[in-house]
A and B are shown apart, each in its own frame.
Chain A
């Protein structure tokens, strides 16, 4: 399979890195070659954060080249424009506006909800998403995050059928 490029972006503390860990783990469990890369170190203090995940038969560079992301997931409205250049022409943008904030049981699981939305355009079987969620989150958060994932997935499917 040709390499799939996903960029996840947001602000420090929103769970960008957690989301990219889950995505990379899910792709890994699905048997793909995976590379995931980001710059971190000072992210706890609210600055911009972004993380690249690439998977396929063979991945070389761990960084998504500018303008080559197939999917861009953004957790914070203000971060959409600054990350848009990474998206390729025809790539899919998944932004926080996809979800009604009131519908999420916990704002903290926005990262997982948007992964649910992204899952509709990624070829990773559901069982691997579930396993990756479980492996990367504390047990007491499993139910909440499974719900958020399903919620995001449903919202993306509803939008694409409306379009």
Chain B
């Protein structure tokens, strides 16, 4: 794959670079628009695994990096909230193998519950951040990220956005790395055991690393200068940089690749050479604020451009100072649950029973739309259980008895198990009903495996968590496994009876996602063939 020009998405480019740079392990949790990175890395022959959630993925990745391996950890922007705990303290440690944490942000909320700007994390956790503008840079910055990470023994955040992840652009790959050192554990207690006595100096070391990286960024960092007219200077980051080049091709432009810590010297010099300096960045005005704090006079985009994606037209408006209302694009057809989707029957029942539904994130969130309109809350993965319990704790009994928590199978493993512990530990007076919609896949993000499917990222068989056994072991009083299509007794009758009890209940509605079902049958068949007696015998005789 080396050398020849290729047309790749940003996600594919990161995966290819990871392979070429000798990454030993890729971990992550699915989330649009990051999912294809690990899937591609696996298809290219890399070792990739889905973790139950992003926190675990980062911890596994950190362990691999402590062990001296180049490691890639991927997630969508909100995943970094889940992984924030290890992230902030990993920043204090000295890692051995390069560690890149990919944060795939979603300005404009193409497929997310918020449009948070994860550039804040670089500053908050004090970690270097690289922001490519296209697939070529996604490829190059993955390499560069490992170099920075190993030189300063620090994790590096590679921040992508939807249009970088999913846009396909031309990439010229380089030769794969040779002589990557083999992983091997070197004890370094003071750099890796963050008790206060060691963490205090580690914090100082971290700040010193950032000073050095900023100086390096000024001297030889990935900065692109397009020299144009002096009457307009643009300082830009990420995908916004290419919109800006197109919107104002005659302007002078400085495009920053390592956006934290900033190359303030270079920017200051650039600023003095132009009559007017405008910061073009998607999301929050982080670059503009940082430059102003450094005393560099810069124009910040008007507040209305904080929201949504930028594009060429919007950058033209920013440069013209246009704050008139923007044309509203015509509304397309909203998505809906597939015909035959197993979630449909569940939401029909919850609607008909007038339940107060604490919902969660996945395909089934579409239960909020007509004809169901059967979801009352949706915040973040796993929140259905806690929010449902909170409602049960305070509502008058007649209302409390109608509260149900609804959560998908992948979401349950991701962050529902601790919610179940809360239910057992602090049961509301009216009890509670948690419904796991177990369709045997992570459907929302394109049908990935998870620990409840019993198959790994590459769909080969592995250990499997039984939700019913888990619920019983945790002490939930009633545990039922059903199919929402069942007639005798009906799913509806079961829910009615459980709502009437003042006990804790877990109902697992199990029926495969109709889009995933054919593939699941293929995987199951392949697994059955693998363990058939004939194959065992063959395995036995072959060397």
Would you give the shortest CB distance from B226 to chain A, in whole angstroms?
A: 11
A35 at the interface (CB under 8 A from B): yes
Q: List 21 A-B contacts (CB under 8 A).
A: A28-B170, A36-B7, A36-B169, A37-B167, A37-B168, A39-B110, A39-B162, A45-B335, A45-B366, A46-B333, A48-B333, A60-B246, A61-B246, A62-B134, A62-B163, A62-B167, A62-B239, A63-B312, A66-B327, A82-B331, A85-B327
A94 at the interface (CB under 8 A from B): no
Contact of A11 among B7, B163, B166, B333 (CB under 8 A): B333
CB contacts (< 8 Å) of B489 on chain A: these are none
Given A24-B7, A34-B169, A37-B167: A46 and B110 within 8 A (CB)?
A: no
List residues of A whose CB falls within 8 A of some B CB. 11-12, 21, 24-25, 28, 33-48, 50, 59-63, 65-66, 78-79, 81-83, 85
If A40-B32, A45-B335, A62-B169 are given as contacts, then 6 extra A-B residue pairs at C-beta distance below 8 Å, sorted by A number, are: A47-B332, A47-B336, A60-B243, A61-B243, A62-B134, A62-B163
Would you give the shortest CB distance from A80 to chain B, in whole angstroms?
A: 11
Contact of A45 among B108, B243, B331, B337 (CB under 8 A): B337
Would you give the shortest CB distance from B184 to chain A, in whole angstroms?
A: 40
Q: How far is the CA of A43 from the CA of B110 in the complex (A)?
A: 11
> In the bound complex, do residue B330 and residue A82 qualify as a contact, i.e. CB atoms below 8 Å apart?
yes
B526 at the interface (CB under 8 A from A): no
CB contacts (< 8 Å) of A21 on chain B: these are 168
> In the bound complex, do residue A66 and residue B313 qualify as a contact, i.e. CB atoms below 8 Å apart?
yes
CB contacts (< 8 Å) of B166 on chain A: these are 37-40
Identify which of residues 310-339 in chain B touch chain A, using a CB-to-CB cut-off of 8 Å: 311-313, 327, 329-338
Q: How far is the CA of A78 from the CA of B7 in the complex (A)?
A: 32
CB contacts (< 8 Å) of A47 on chain B: these are 332-336
Would you give the shortest CB distance from B172 to chain A, in whole angstroms?
A: 12
Q: How far is the CA of A48 from the CA of B366 in the complex (A)?
A: 15
CB contacts (< 8 Å) of A45 on chain B: these are 335-338, 363, 366
CB contacts (< 8 Å) of A61 on chain B: these are 239, 242-243, 245-246, 311-312
B481 at the interface (CB under 8 A from A): no
> In the bound complex, do residue B363 and residue A35 qualify as a contact, i.e. CB atoms below 8 Å apart?
no
Contact of A48 among B242, B312, B332, B445 (CB under 8 A): B332
CB contacts (< 8 Å) of B223 on chain A: these are none
Classify the secondary structure of B's interface with A. loop
> In the bound complex, do residue B7 and residue A28 qualify as a contact, i.e. CB atoms below 8 Å apart?
yes
Identify which of residues 112-156 in chain B touch chain A, using a CB-to-CB cut-off of 8 Å: 134
B496 at the interface (CB under 8 A from A): no
Q: How far is the CA of A79 from the CA of B332 in the complex (A)?
A: 8
Q: Which of B108, B332, B444 has the most CB of A within 10 A?
A: B332
CB contacts (< 8 Å) of A24 on chain B: these are 7, 168
Which partner residue on chain B sits nearest A86 by CB separation?
Answer: B329
B111 at the interface (CB under 8 A from A): yes
Would you give the shortest CB distance from B254 to chain A, in whole angstroms?
A: 16
> In the bound complex, do residue A35 and residue B335 qualify as a contact, i.e. CB atoms below 8 Å apart?
no
CB contacts (< 8 Å) of A36 on chain B: these are 7, 167-169
B359 at the interface (CB under 8 A from A): no
Residue-by-residue, is B233-245 near A (CB-CB < 8 Å gives 1, otherwise 0)? 0000001001101
Contact of B7 among A34, A38, A48, A65 (CB under 8 A): A34
7 tightest Cβ-Cβ pairs between the two chains A and B: A48-B332, A41-B111, A47-B335, A41-B32, A45-B335, A62-B167, A37-B167
> In the bound complex, do residue B163 and residue A46 qualify as a contact, i.e. CB atoms below 8 Å apart?
no
CB contacts (< 8 Å) of A38 on chain B: these are 166
CB contacts (< 8 Å) of A34 on chain B: these are 7, 168-170
CB contacts (< 8 Å) of B311 on chain A: these are 61, 63, 65-66
Which partner residue on chain A sits nearest B365 by CB separation?
Answer: A42
Would you give the shortest CB distance from A45 to chain B, in whole angstroms?
A: 4
> In the bound complex, do residue B313 and residue A41 qualify as a contact, i.e. CB atoms below 8 Å apart?
no
CB contacts (< 8 Å) of B239 on chain A: these are 61-62
B33 at the interface (CB under 8 A from A): yes
CB contacts (< 8 Å) of A65 on chain B: these are 246, 311-313
> In the bound complex, do residue A42 and residue B329 qualify as a contact, i.e. CB atoms below 8 Å apart?
no
CB contacts (< 8 Å) of B211 on chain A: these are none
B528 at the interface (CB under 8 A from A): no
Would you give the shortest CB distance from B131 to chain A, in whole angstroms?
A: 15
CB contacts (< 8 Å) of A25 on chain B: these are 7
Would you give the shortest CB distance from A13 to chain B, in whole angstroms?
A: 9
Would you give the shortest CB distance from A10 to chain B, in whole angstroms?
A: 10
Q: How far is the CA of A86 from the CA of B322 in the complex (A)?
A: 21
Would you give the shortest CB distance from A59 to chain B, in whole angstroms?
A: 8
B180 at the interface (CB under 8 A from A): no
> In the bound complex, do residue B515 and residue A44 qualify as a contact, i.e. CB atoms below 8 Å apart?
yes
Which partner residue on chain A sits nearest B5 by CB separation?
Answer: A28
Would you give the shortest CB distance from B265 to chain A, in whole angstroms?
A: 27
> In the bound complex, do residue B335 and residue A46 qualify as a contact, i.e. CB atoms below 8 Å apart?
yes
Which partner residue on chain B sits nearest A52 by CB separation?
Answer: B167
CB contacts (< 8 Å) of B110 on chain A: these are 39-41
Residue-by-residue, is B1-30 near A (CB-CB < 8 Å gives 1, otherwise 0)? 000000100000000000000000000000
CB contacts (< 8 Å) of A81 on chain B: these are 330
> In the bound complex, do residue A44 and residue B170 qualify as a contact, i.e. CB atoms below 8 Å apart?
no
> In the bound complex, do residue B329 and residue A85 qualify as a contact, i.e. CB atoms below 8 Å apart?
yes
Contact of B33 among A28, A41, A44, A50 (CB under 8 A): A41
Identify which of residues 31-59 in chain B touch chain A, using a CB-to-CB cut-off of 8 Å: 32-33
Would you give the shortest CB distance from A144 to chain B, in whole angstroms?
A: 21
Contact of B168 among A35, A82, A85 (CB under 8 A): A35
Identify which of residues 335-356 in chain B touch chain A, using a CB-to-CB cut-off of 8 Å: 335-338
Would you give the shortest CB distance from A18 to chain B, in whole angstroms?
A: 13
Q: How far is the CA of A83 from the CA of B332 in the complex (A)?
A: 9
Which partner residue on chain B sits nearest A9 by CB separation?
Answer: B332
Q: How far is the CA of A33 from the CA of B169 in the complex (A)?
A: 8
CB contacts (< 8 Å) of A59 on chain B: these are 169
CB contacts (< 8 Å) of B446 on chain A: these are 44
Which partner residue on chain A sits nearest B332 by CB separation?
Answer: A48
Identify which of residues 411-441 in chain B touch chain A, using a CB-to-CB cut-off of 8 Å: none
Would you give the shortest CB distance from B37 to chain A, in whole angstroms?
A: 14
CB contacts (< 8 Å) of A39 on chain B: these are 108, 110-111, 162, 166
Residue-by-residue, is B370-409 near A (CB-CB < 8 Å gives 1, otherwise 0)? 0000000000000000000000000000000000000000
Identify which of residues 60-94 in chain B touch chain A, using a CB-to-CB cut-off of 8 Å: none
